[in-house]
Structure 1
Amino acid sequence: MNGLLDDFKGAFSKPNNGLIQIILINVIVFLVLILLRVILSISEVPEVYSTITNQLMIPPLIRNFIYKPWTVFTYFFTHEEIFHILFNMLFLYWFGKLVDEYLGNRRLINLYILGGLAGGIIYLLIYNLIPYYQVRSSFPGMIGASAAVYAVVVGAATLMPNYTFFLFLLGPVRIKYIAAFYVILSFAQSIGSNAGGNIAHLGGALLGFIFVKQLKKGTDLGQPLTNVAESIRKLFSRKPAMKVTYHRRDVNKASYNPNSYTPNQDEIDAILDKISRSGYESLTKEEKQKLFRASQKN
């Protein structure tokens, strides 16, 4: 048991490990809810479990949502069904790896969170503004990371539309077709029994598309989230003891900041040569990010 806890602690303390951390949070919440459901059912107080889950799911009606606004965040970290979380986390891992490699850890986290928020907001707007859905608002609410995952899936497909996955029985398929298939499927099912969930999928997908398109134009929609996260980190980080040191400034040595550094033409040419020799997959994570930053300047 201690070894398992150490593994969890290591995953959360490891820098630039946002994808695994998001998956772990979803899995931990899922396992805790399973344990609570079993314990409370045996204790013959299942209504307590319902009360707990109602505090995590986002309700369809705004008049109920205003009393628990935190659910616009908690719903996309909460699952109750094994296949629901399994497929969500598999898709998040496959497509999230691409976003992480090309855009970096922080932007992947921002894309997931913004996708979840967009899905929740679209869900609330549709259910409160369109009469067709208002008569279908009797259920307690929505949970699941699907909207956030759709943002990552569509974001990856917008970023690298011709990247290929090898699918069982189908062979090589470009990810833009995978993303398009699931978006069309969600749209077709937006009038079915899971209308709310599919509407949220579409909201997340739209956010993923806009996020990457704006990023290519030089606008990072996730920067406010980055600023908030950095402020929180500084608030809880230990302040080092004051120490005065003197360094000789070396004007010939430039520092490399992965968030602000702009690669020069020689570096880009070298990366393009490497792609022509060994393919895109041979690039390191840093080289992929340099190539993306160069594309933003063009």
Structure 2
Amino acid sequence: MNNSLWAELKLKLFKSGNPVLLYIGVNALIFVVFSLISVVFFFAKMPDAVAGFINDYLAFPSSPALWPTRFYTLLTYQFFHQGVFHILFNLLWLYWMGQIFLDFVKPRQFHFVYLGGGILGGIFFALIYNLVPVYQPLVSESTVIGSSAAVMAVFAAAVTLVPNYSIRLMFIGDVKIKYLLLVYVILDMIAMQSANAGGSLAHLGGALFGFLYIKFLQKGTDLSSIFKKKPKLKVVKNNNVKQQTNTVNQKRSI
């Protein structure tokens, strides 16, 4: 029965062709694996070992001195989370907004927005930390992790595409998603003065990416087209062409 459950989950999350479920599955799997590893280190009296490794080698740093050796963290940081509630809320919003967005775009476009939003979110966080004086004393020790920027990119892209789309919230009723995004953006702007200012800046950078992608798309430019597979050209030998020509001529003479 356990094998059957795992096979069903694997088929649903990783082989369905649905990018929303794929990213939910990847994020959840990474979180579970590293959480279980952290339990082992906890019993070995090293409770912070896993969190320290993630922060040092997988989170995206704001310090430019670390970028040459930590360039890959622009991608890896998007798949790690600090706790259960961090990943839970990210994946819930990814499911809700991702399904809406996917109703109007191709999987290739979804991948581009998700990953591109995460990348721009990290870059936006690092640039603000390095350029704005109030954050500069924190540059050497600040990192960011989580899929929030990628999720916000999907959220903003969906809102830009269908701003009047409504969802039903418990105790509130039907709410247009453009108002939900507005609330989140305002909260992130307020949180720029909090301890999690880096995360809020990454959210805003991700939202900006999702917004710009749809604006370009509406003007006829699909930025995700760089991922399109180019058709392969077939080389036809001359002797084959001659043989086909002869066959046609024979049929005509008959």
TM-score, with structure 2 as normaliser? 0.84
Distance in 2 (CA, whole Å) between partners of 1:30 and 1:13 is 16
Counterpart pick for 2:134 among 132, 135, 159: 132
3-state secondary structure, aligned to 2:69: coil
Unaligned runs of 5+ in 2: 233-254
CA contact (8 A) 2:14 2:22 kept: no
Amino acid at match of 2:43: I
**How big is the alpha-carbon RMSD for the aligned residues of Structure 1 and Structure 2?**
1.9
CA contact (8 A) 2:74 2:119 kept: yes
Compute the displacement of 1:12 (Å): 5.5
Compute the displacement of 1:123 (Å): 1.0
Identify the residue that residue 101 of structure 2 maps to in structure 1. Answer: 99
1:14 aligns with 2:15: yes
Compute the displacement of 1:16 (Å): 2.8
Distance in 2 (CA, whole Å) between partners of 1:8 and 1:78 is 21
Counterpart pick for 1:75 among 67, 77, 94: 77
* Deviation readout 1:219-252 (Å, 9 max, x if unpaired): 112222x24xx59xx9xxxxxxxxxxxxxxxxxx
Compute the displacement of 1:9 (Å): 3.5
Compute the displacement of 1:13 (Å): 5.4
Counterpart pick for 2:87 among 81, 85, 89: 85
Choose 109-118 or 43-52, whichever is displaced more. Answer: 43-52
3-state secondary structure, aligned to 1:198: helix
CA contact (8 A) 1:29 1:79 kept: no
Q: For 1:45-64, list aligned pairs within 5 A.
A: 45-46=46-47, 48-53=49-54, 54-64=56-66
* Deviation readout 1:55-87 (Å, 9 max, x if unpaired): 211112111232111110011111121111111
CA contact (8 A) 1:116 1:204 kept: yes
Distance in 2 (CA, whole Å) between partners of 1:75 and 1:95 is 21
1:24 aligns with 2:19: no
* Deviation readout 1:5-52 (Å, 9 max, x if unpaired): 423432365353111000000001111121111111111234541443
CA contact (8 A) 1:59 1:140 kept: yes
Distance in 2 (CA, whole Å) between partners of 1:153 and 1:88 is 11
* Deviation readout 1:240-267 (Å, 9 max, x if unpaired): xxxxxxxxxxxxxxxxxxxxxxxxxxxx
Distance in 2 (CA, whole Å) between partners of 1:16 and 1:9 is 12
Choose 117-126 or 137-146, whichever is displaced more. Answer: 137-146
Amino acid at match of 2:164: N
Counterpart pick for 2:220 among 213, 218, 221: 218
CA contact (8 A) 1:34 1:80 kept: no
Q: For 1:1-298, list aligned pairs within 5 A.
A: 1-11=2-12, 14-46=15-47, 48-53=49-54, 54-137=56-139, 139-224=141-226, 226-227=227-228, 230=229
TM-score, with structure 1 as normaliser? 0.72
Amino acid at match of 1:220: D
Q: Report the CA distance shift for 1:215/1:123 in structure 2 as closer, same or farther (over 3 A).
A: same
Amino acid at match of 1:88: N
Identify the residue that residue 260 of structure 1 maps to in structure 2. Answer: none
3-state secondary structure, aligned to 2:146: coil
3-state secondary structure, aligned to 2:167: strand
* Deviation readout 1:163-194 (Å, 9 max, x if unpaired): 11111121111111111110111111112111
Q: Report the CA distance shift for 1:74/1:4 in structure 2 as closer, same or farther (over 3 A).
A: farther
Which structure has greater helix proportion?
2
Distance in 2 (CA, whole Å) between partners of 1:111 and 1:214 is 12
Choose 159-168 or 60-69, whichever is displaced more. Answer: 60-69
